[in-house]
Structure 1
Amino acid sequence: MASTSTLTAHDLARLIRTTAPHAAADGLGLDVIDGIRFDSDGTHLHAVASDRHTMAVARARLATPGEPFARTVHGPDLAALRAWVDAHHDQAALTLATEAGRLVFDGPRGTLRIPVTDGEKFPDWRLLLHTALADVPAGTPCTRWTSTLWERWQHANSEVSTWHAGGEQPLIVLGTDVIGLQAPHRLRTPALDRADTPADALDTWKTSLGAATVQRLDLADAVPAPRRSTGTAGSTVAEMTEELLRQTLNATSRQFSAPSDDPGAGIAYTLSGVHAWAAYRFLNALVKADPDLAADTVGDLAEQLDDGALGEWAWEAAVEAGHDPQQWADERAQARADKPGTRDKEASGLPQATATTPE
């Protein structure tokens, strides 16, 4: 086992609490970032999390330095780690160490061994921060914000535009039928109210970020977006609109090229096109009536389809709507058992129809 590092339970809990909201959700195809990366340089323990849209890095100075390491604790194991840390008194001394395929946490409440993948890749967070800070003119003063006020904008719209003149000027926020301002935070202690710059930030974090580099890496490019299967809906209104229109055109054009001896194929293409067009019309109407509700609905739908239990969702929805899905299943089974025209086809020697899935 590698040499151990030591820090308090309070510090480890703070690292997890600060970064966990930025980790990618489990099941979205972003396995490399669906957790927290614990990265020790021997002096500080860093916790890093990103979901491709945001990234947060928190650090705590180690009470007992140890050998550098970097391991990622993923979603399900992260919950277990969080519960274990919370069970300790704030000032309890916790030790961290690595062993083959494990990240080992030890404290007064016992030892927790979490499975990890040795050598697992993770976005280069140091290069990401260097790139972002380098894009800001070196002498640009910072503006301080009260972060607890940011949540007040969560119902303004799912997407908003902002402008900021800098310094002590307010942030201008613009959404659909929403416009507003947020004032910057002013420190009460004049001696501490200094103009921090990107150079100051780099100096403060120089032991963690290392030397500057000419290489560049942008957050959106750090982790490739997951490829969706053909059965997965878009996660935004724009993506869903495109897919529904594409499906409508594909289905309605292919109904004319369906096998002439298989009327079921043509019907399947027609129904697919009709349903895609109907979904597009409903979505378009919802966007005009309530853009936020449309965006939330599309996001929920994408998660349901990713879940892979569409039949279960539909069954429960049918019951809640007062229908009897079991009766529908029985009627479908009976129709297959006594399918019209089957005997005539058998007698004439025509090939039997096979199921066709529209593209």
Structure 2
Amino acid sequence: MTSSSTLTAHNLARLLQATAPHAAAEGIGLDQIDGIRVDSDGIHLHAIATDRYTVAVARARLQAAAGRPSEPFARTVHGHSLPTLRAWVDAHRGDAALNLTAEADHLVLAGPRGTLRIPAADSEDYFDWRKLVHTTLADRPADEPCTRWTSRLWERWQHAGREITTWHTGGTTPLLVLGADFIGLQAPHRTAPEQAQTTAEALDAWRASLGPDTGQRLDLANVVPDPSPREYPTATTVPQMSENLVRQTLAATAGLLDAPSEDAGAVAAYALSGVHAWTAYQLLKALRQADPDLAAATVADITDQLEDGAIGEWAWEAAIDEGHDPQQWADARAKPTTVASS
């Protein structure tokens, strides 16, 4: 028995493309779910990705390999290796047969254009996606009619608001979409009576992948522990960020007045904090007056970057984009200060 699976390049590319948008970002302290999980049960190859808020599972049926029975395996290809994997797969014709073999810390792919040996973790602490799906379906009546949607219409709601509320009563009723100053409807995809399905019928094709329901339950919110709590205030709207910046300015001003005059480091830190907070507040105020939509989008982008947890990396790349040399700045900070003796 070998831990290997064979499928076409087209199918593997499809699995990666379908799940990549749901993968957790690197650098946020969630290494367990960083990247894409490749899970073979000997019948299908599954690709799984999650960012704790969404979960995506795509699958492709494996090609039969006479004389080479396959045993199940699962490996996680982390985010930094995905571009290499996707480029290697895309270099093949769609009908090319690719063989995946699991090693202890690597995934080996062999195809007409050579072999790729890519780091891939066993990740025994990866969440049980099958149990999670069963949890979601546990209280859903098996004979409940399914509603079909046209996914290409979903992107039309992206400007309805950063956070929206939805309501759907099932069947052929429209989906109600509510934003702060927005309301909309989306009609279900029309289905001929003979094509109508119940929940059980729609999921029947997935039973081989999901396996039996063990009765154990798993909450999506608890799939992985939260990252370390941030020590700075966050804001998701322009008013919230404006308030945070004004409060920070006042706090820094008060700290500057209370700091011991002989503590030059503390005085400088309070002064710099207050200056930067006030500058940011004035710039945000001007942006909100000039273009409220752009201000809201900018705050949303900043929030995403702060939640990503790697603002140092963002700042490093920004410095390079602006034509600066951040390494030179780092070297200057590292140089010891020389104090002349009298």
The TM-score by the shorter chain falls in which range?
A: 0.7 to 0.9
1:182 aligns with 2:186: yes
Q: How does 1:76-95 map to 2 (within 5 A)?
A: 76-95=80-99
2:235 and 2:170 mapped to 1: Cα distance? 34
Note the alpha carbon deviations across 1:146-200, whole angstroms, 9 max, x for none. 001111111222222212121111111122332221111013x5422x1321x33
1:196 aligns with 2:201: no
Partner of 2:49: 49
Please report the TM-score for the alignment, with normalisation by the length of structure 1. Answer: 0.75
3-state DSSP class of the match of 1:90?
coil
The farther-off stretch of 51-60 and 8-17 is 8-17
Note the alpha carbon deviations across 1:188-219, whole angstroms, 9 max, x for none. x5422x1321x335543222122223332222
Distance 1:134 1:201, change over 3 A: farther
Partner of 2:220: 219
Given residue 52 of structure 1, which amino acid in structure 2 is its aligned partner?
Answer: R
Q: How does 1:93-242 map to 2 (within 5 A)?
A: 93-187=97-191, 189-192=192-195, 194-197=196-199, 199-227=200-228, 230=231, 234=234, 236-237=236-237
Please report the TM-score for the alignment, with normalisation by the length of structure 2. Answer: 0.79
Aligned partner of 2:302 among 298, 301, 307: 298
Distance 1:300 1:49, change over 3 A: closer
Identity, in percent, stands at 57
Q: Deviation of residue 234 (structure 1)?
A: 3.4
Q: Deviation of residue 263 (structure 1)?
A: 6.2
Partner of 1:40: 40
Q: Deviation of residue 308 (structure 1)?
A: 3.6
Partner of 2:277: 276
1:99 and 1:270 mapped to 2: Cα distance? 55
Given residue 208 of structure 1, which amino acid in structure 2 is its aligned partner?
Answer: S
Q: Deviation of residue 250 (structure 1)?
A: 4.7
Distance 1:279 1:224, change over 3 A: farther
Note the alpha carbon deviations across 1:294-326, whole angstroms, 9 max, x for none. 443423653696244637746976x89xxxx9x
CA contact (8 A) 2:27 2:309 kept: no
Q: Deviation of residue 114 (structure 1)?
A: 0.9
Q: What RMSD over aligned residues (CA atoms) do the two structures have, in Å?
A: 3.7
Partner of 1:354: none
Across the two proteins, how many residue pairs are aligned to each other?
A: 323
Mark the structure with the bigger radius of gyration: 1
CA contact (8 A) 1:2 1:99 kept: no
Distance 1:311 1:257, change over 3 A: farther
3-state DSSP class of the match of 2:17?
helix
CA contact (8 A) 2:3 2:73 kept: no
Q: Deviation of residue 55 (structure 1)?
A: 0.8
CA contact (8 A) 1:142 1:196 kept: yes
Unpaired runs of at least 5, structure 2:
330-336
1:25 aligns with 2:30: no
Q: How does 1:236-255 map to 2 (within 5 A)?
A: 236-237=236-237, 244=245, 247-248=248-249, 250-255=251-256
